[in-house]
């Protein structure tokens, strides 16, 4: 598959949990950007078993646009399953992931896509300046530093939800538990061309973050697991096809 071609098609994968207010706005913004790019595209809205009416909003948005597809997980996965299902179902040559909370700016999508067309296997958006609480920023900076030291690849924002991949790379990923946070390191350790570019980050407009203290405390545990796996020459536990889903 030649992702260096300007004719490469794009799949936008949006993991969603309880973000019903953001979805129509985000879809409009994404479509405005992609229509200017003049590429074939699809938008996959992956509902991670929301409880706030998100499923109904996705259904309304998808039924009015043939380029939008809604998918619902049968059990909440805390994002890992939403990414796995999105990668599995995506049909584009290039896969872009973007969070549903409107903090990622769809206007940056062309820059991410350009990096892939210029030879990158994956490119991660470094949110700078980051429009989050000081606690969230501080914890993220510490985790990024520790991961960079222990895994010997420097990334400033490894857990950014705003990434682009060559499709064949994304489809080979195994993402057990919270390992999606370390995707740039996982791919870099395997020898892939992984890049990072600064992207615009916006303040949250609706609701609040869905990841609390438990999620943050689990990060160091997952990092230790990943260091053990990479240093001991182990393979990542297989997770493919473990998350069940249905169309909305």
User: What domains sit in the chain, N to C, each tagged with a CATH number?
Assistant: 10-233 (3.90.550.10)
Determine phi and psi for 165, rounding to 5 degrees: -135, 150
Asked if residue 241 has pLDDT above 60, the reply is no
Determine phi and psi for 8, rounding to 5 degrees: -60, 135
For the stretch 27-71, pLDDT in tens is 999 999 999 998 999 999 999 999 999 999 999 999 999 999 999
Return the pLDDT at 4. 45
pTM of the predicted structure, to 2 decimals: 0.90
Better pLDDT: 225 or 143: 143
**pLDDT band for position 206 (cuts 50, 70, 90):** confident
Better pLDDT: 210 or 245: 245
Q: Are 131 and 73 in contact (CB under 8 A)?
A: no
**pLDDT band for position 3 (cuts 50, 70, 90):** very low
**pLDDT band for position 235 (cuts 50, 70, 90):** low
Q: Are 29 and 65 in contact (CB under 8 A)?
A: no
Determine phi and psi for 163, rounding to 5 degrees: -140, 160
Instruction: Please tell me what DSSP assigns to residue 14.
Output: E
Could you tell me the maximum CA-CA distance found in the chain, to the nearest angstrom?
Answer: 50
For the stretch 142-180, pLDDT in tens is 999 999 999 999 999 999 999 999 999 999 998 877 789
Residue (of 81, 90, 87) closest to 49 by Cα position: 81
Q: Are 94 and 164 in contact (CB under 8 A)?
A: yes
The set of residues, in sequence order, having a beta carbon less than 8 Å from that of 142 and lying 6+ positions away, is: none
Rounded Cα gap, residues 214 and 115, in angstroms: 34
Give strand ranges (E) for 105-150.
Answer: 122-127
Return the pLDDT at 126. 98
Asked if residue 8 has pLDDT above 90, the reply is no
Better pLDDT: 85 or 2: 85
Instruction: Please tell me what DSSP assigns to residue 93.
Output: S
* 139-166 core/surface letters (b: 16 or more CB in 10 A; e: else): bbeebbeebbeebebebbbbbbbbbbbb
Strands 163-166 and 194-199: unpaired
**Picking from 11-25, 34-48, 85-99, 233-247, which range would have the lowest pLDDT averaged per residue?**
233-247
Residues in the chain: 248
Given phi > 0 = left and psi -120 to 50 = alpha, else beta, which region is 191? left
For the stretch 81-136, pLDDT in tens is 999 999 999 999 999 999 999 999 999 999 999 999 999 999 999 999 998 989 88
């Amino acid at each position: 598959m030649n992702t260096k071609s300007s004719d490469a098609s794009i799949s936008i994968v949006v993991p969603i949990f309880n973000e019903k207010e953001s979805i129509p706005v985000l879809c409009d913004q994404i479509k405005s950007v992609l229509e200017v790019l003049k590429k074939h595209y699809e938008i996959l809205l992956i509902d991670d078993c929301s409880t706030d009416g998100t499923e109904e909003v996705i259904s309304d948005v998808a039924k009015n646009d043939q380029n939008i597809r809604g998918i619902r997980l049968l059990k909440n996965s805390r994002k890992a399953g939403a990414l796995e299902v999105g990668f599995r179902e995506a049909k584009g040559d290039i896969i872009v992931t973007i969070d549903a909370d409107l903090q990622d700016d769809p206007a940056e999508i062309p820059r991410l896509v350009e990096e892939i067309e210029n030879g990158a296997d994956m490119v991660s958006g470094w949110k700078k300046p980051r429009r989050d609480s000081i606690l969230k920023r501080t914890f993220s900076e510490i985790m990024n530093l520790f991961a960079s030291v222990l895994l010997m690849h420097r990334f400033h924002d490894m857990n950014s939800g705003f990434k682009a991949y060559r499709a064949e790379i994304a489809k080979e990923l195994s993402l057990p538990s919270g390992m999606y946070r370390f995707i740039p390191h996982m791919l870099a350790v395997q020898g892939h061309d992984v890049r990072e570019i600064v992207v615009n980050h916006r303040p949250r407009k609706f609701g609040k973050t869905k990841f609390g203290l438990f999620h943050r405390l689990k990060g160091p545990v997952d990092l230790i697991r990943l260091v053990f796996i990479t240093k001991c020459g182990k393979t990542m536990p297989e997770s493919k096809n473990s998350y069940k889903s249905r169309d909305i």
